Structure 1
Amino acid sequence: MRARLTLVHGGLFLLAGIVLLAVTYVLVEQRLPGAVTLSVSDMKKFTSAMPQSDLSQVNAAELRRFLERLQTDVRQNTLDSLLTQGGIALMIVSAAAIAFGWLIAGRALQPLHQITETAHRIAGADTAGRGLHERIALAGPRDEVRKLADTFDLMLERLDRSFDGQRRFVANASHELRTPLAINRSLIELAITRPGAPSEVRQLGEALLTVNERHERLIDGLLTLADSETELAERVAIDLAEVVGYVMDQATGDLAVRATRGLTVDRDLAPAAVVGDPILLERLVHNLLENAVRHNTPGTGWVSARTGVVDGRATLVVANTGPVVPGYDVETIFLPFRRLRNERLSDGQGVGGRGFGLGLSIVRAVARAHGGSVEARPRDGGGLTVTVSLPAGS
């Protein structure tokens, strides 16, 4: 925009200068006498002023032609000088006008640069409301740019209040939703462990515990998804390889009982330093591995996890065998409560049973909260390869 304004300013100045030079040229040309043929009386007046000693050497016809040529040359030289020197002066002044136009345009656009830089800082933080406390606070006269900046500040203020309300809701929901489920679990466990409890009561209690556990996992997933889309509570330097190793070691004792039995697990964990929330990163890795185990080939499948630094970014790659995933359906699995196909997730298929459709949604939300990204692509023969890329830490 600065270059365009400068070119418009310089172009208009140059056009005005050309018009002015052309008008001056025409006016001067009209004021200068044209080619006039000297008459005999004019020649007599001219020769009468000359000394008598020179008249014998003067040829009247040649003298007349000489004076006429002299008059024409003077007229043409005057017009040529006006055009040449005026053009040179116009070029010099136009160059100065373009330089001043560049400076003036830069100063005029400085408020827009301030607005743009603020918007970039806010957008660069992430999409979860971090940075919305910042304001442009543009000073100066209340012109169009000042009104734009004030409107932008008002929008930021409303968004900031909205995200603050969301964060407060997540904090309150975390307590209000988990506490009743924890009380229900305690009461059911107390009822089924009471001496002399009938078998029907115990059977009913175990069924209720299963339902309660499922609800707890659903609420925990929803709260984790909401929490990962708000401001990170903690940012520490951590090695992604250590997180993956810890989760995989825990999985051999936890997931193996219901999922990993019969699967081949492969790991290649190179150092990959990141800065972020350890709890959320652990949940990201856990969900990836759980998803890879849950949707796998029973007995003959495998899961692999690799970490490292690629192009200056910490990378985690989790691959697995399993059902064939169409390429056009890959993005579906990242949506909350969306499953690829019911038969892929239903009980008795795969090795992990049915999920809630939140695992990869949480993975993507956590990655974005850390300034990273998640991509998935189908493997030949079935399964997925999921790649998580995060900004590398020091």
Structure 2
Amino acid sequence: MGKPWSWTVGRRFTILYAAGFLGSGIVLLALTYLMSGGRVSSAAPEQPPAGPSDLAAAEQQIQDLARRLADVHAQQSHRLLAGSLIALLVMAGVSLLLGRILAGRVLRPLRLITAATRRITAENLHQRLAVAGPVDEVKELADTVDGLLERLEASFVAQRRFVGNASHELRTPLATMRASLDVAAAKPEPAAQTVALVGRLRTELDRVDHLLDGFLVLARAQHGTLADRTPVSLGELARGALTGRAGDITAKKLTVDDDTVGRDAWTRGSQALLSRMVENIVDNAIVHNEQRGWIRVATERDDTGAHFVVETGGRVLDQTQVDRLTQPFERLGADRTGPECSSGLGLSIVAAIVAAHGGRLTLLARPEGGLRVAAAMPTAVGFRRGEVKR
């Protein structure tokens, strides 16, 4: 289905050009016709002076000749008017074509600026429009956009540097605190209060460490370059994630349906980030599930790409609240926040990783209750282990 017709700048420029040309042509034609009519009225013959009776016949012939000349001149004026109208209509069409060409020439730099701006994303903010040519309104616009891109690049770089440096710097005091706790717990016959305090502090330190790790992964997924792209099997990642959380699945007495996992759903990307994506989705399905609940895990491929889908049961959720789960620290309420170590970054990290790989993440509140998380990723070249081109 084509794009609906709209009053673009090019079309407005074309119509204004044609209207101006047509208006000036009409004015010129009217002036020509008026001037031609004035000459006809002034062409009437003067009355001959009184004379002998034999001049009556000559006078009559002169009057007949004057009428015939006036008729011929009127016909010529009408033909001139008709021809001018036809020429005006033809030139109106030509003016539309010429206006379109001129509009295209005038607006071509703007189209180039628009196309170049659309190609610039968070991953290539270093690119600039760098429009050459005379200093005019178009170049001023391009230079303004380049300045904006420069400021955005500086802001993104500063944000990445801050997140990375802060996360790494905070690991040093965390390691020191862990060592101090280990020393306190290793003393002979420690007090019960000391043991309880050490346990609580270790739990909080684990939570902080998990949060810092989430910040690092989120920063890399949002602003990283993904230089380590390789073919990755979503089925293998799903099997590994389920195996790694087998203890938690057993503790909650969850029923797992993974019969459709492993159908050669291959994508291309960062092995570490894609593994984290799958683990976070599976972890979300386990942590935010009800006791004796169920999980359905599937990997598949079709013409649109490779898909990783996880469904869980539970109460009916609000789709408006579900749509906000891809934002950092968003949760669905106290009964779905899971344990206190939950950072609220799980699905936001998933969304960032999917976007970094050119995929699409869909969160759907199931009508019968529970949540469906589907990650659609671009398909790698080849689908079977022996066929994937590396």
Give the TM-score of the pair, scaled to structure 2: 0.84
**Segment of structure 1 superposing worse, 280-289 or 218-227:** 218-227
Q: Does 1:107 align with 2:105?
A: yes
Q: Does 1:281 align with 2:274?
A: yes
- List, as ranges, runs of 4+ consecutive aligned residues in structure 1 with deviation greater than 4 Å: 34-48, 63-66
Matches within 5 A, 1:74-93: 74-93=72-91
2-structure distance, mates of 1:96, 1:377: 55
Give CA-to-partner distance per residue, 1:126-178, whole Å, 9 cap, x none.
xxx21211101111111111111111101111111111111222221232122
Could you say what secondary structure the match of 1:229 adopts? helix
CA drift at 1:288: 1.0
1-structure distance, mates of 2:380, 2:57: 102
Give CA-to-partner distance per residue, 1:189-209, whole Å, 9 cap, x none.
354346x34253444433332
What's the counterpart of residue 348 of structure 2?
361
1-structure distance, mates of 2:275, 2:333: 27
1-structure distance, mates of 2:342, 2:56: 118
2-structure distance, mates of 1:139, 1:228: 35
Relative to structure 1, the CA distance from residue 39 to residue 204 in structure 2 (aligned partners, 3 Å threshold; closer, same or farther) is: closer
Could you say what secondary structure the match of 1:274 adopts? strand
2-structure distance, mates of 1:187, 1:233: 38
Relative to structure 1, the CA distance from residue 71 to residue 81 in structure 2 (aligned partners, 3 Å threshold; closer, same or farther) is: same
What's the counterpart of residue 147 of structure 1?
140
2-structure distance, mates of 1:317, 1:38: 102
What's the counterpart of residue 241 of structure 2?
247
Contact 1:34 1:72 (8 Å CA) reproduced: no
CA drift at 1:17: 0.7
Give CA-to-partner distance per residue, 1:223-259, whole Å, 9 cap, x none.
2223322123333332323322322232225x33654
Give CA-to-partner distance per residue, 1:6-58, whole Å, 9 cap, x none.
2211221111111101110111111124795896869966956xxxxxxxxxx
Relative to structure 1, the CA distance from residue 326 to residue 102 in structure 2 (aligned partners, 3 Å threshold; closer, same or farther) is: closer
1-structure distance, mates of 2:328, 2:113: 35
| Aligned-residue RMSD, C-alpha | 2.8
In the alignment, residue 100 of structure 1 is paired with which amino acid? L
Q: Does 1:331 align with 2:339?
A: no
Could you say what secondary structure the match of 2:226 adopts? coil
What's the counterpart of residue 386 of structure 2?
none
1-structure distance, mates of 2:49, 2:232: 110
Match among 62, 69, 81 for residue 71 of structure 1: 69
Q: Does 1:230 align with 2:217?
A: no
Could you say what secondary structure the match of 1:130 adopts? helix
1-structure distance, mates of 2:67, 2:305: 83
Matches within 5 A, 1:176-215: 176-193=169-186, 196-198=188-190, 200=192, 201-215=194-208
Contact 1:191 1:197 (8 Å CA) reproduced: no
What's the counterpart of residue 10 of structure 2?
2
Give CA-to-partner distance per residue, 1:245-304, whole Å, 9 cap, x none.
322232225x33654x343332423333323222222111111111111122212x1111
In the alignment, residue 84 of structure 1 is paired with which amino acid? A
Unaligned runs of 5+ in 1: 49-59, 348-352
Unaligned runs of 5+ in 2: 1-8, 382-390
Match among 71, 74, 95 for residue 97 of structure 1: 95
Q: Does 1:309 align with 2:301?
A: yes
CA drift at 1:354: 6.0
In the alignment, residue 278 of structure 1 is paired with which amino acid? Q
2-structure distance, mates of 1:257, 1:209: 24
CA drift at 1:79: 0.8
Contact 2:126 2:153 (8 Å CA) reproduced: yes
Contact 1:236 1:275 (8 Å CA) reproduced: yes
CA drift at 1:377: 1.8
In the alignment, residue 375 of structure 2 is paired with which amino acid? V
1-structure distance, mates of 2:280, 2:190: 38
1-structure distance, mates of 2:347, 2:294: 19
Relative to structure 1, the CA distance from residue 78 to residue 380 in structure 2 (aligned partners, 3 Å threshold; closer, same or farther) is: closer
CA drift at 1:83: 0.8
In the alignment, residue 25 of structure 1 is paired with which amino acid? Y
Contact 2:363 2:374 (8 Å CA) reproduced: yes
Aligned length: 368
Q: Does 1:18 align with 2:26?
A: yes
CA drift at 1:68: 5.3
In the alignment, residue 101 of structure 1 is paired with which amino acid? G
Could you say what secondary structure the match of 2:98 adopts? helix
Give the TM-score of the pair, scaled to structure 1: 0.83
Q: Does 1:174 align with 2:167?
A: yes
CA drift at 1:98: 3.1
**Segment of structure 1 superposing worse, 31-40 or 273-282:** 31-40
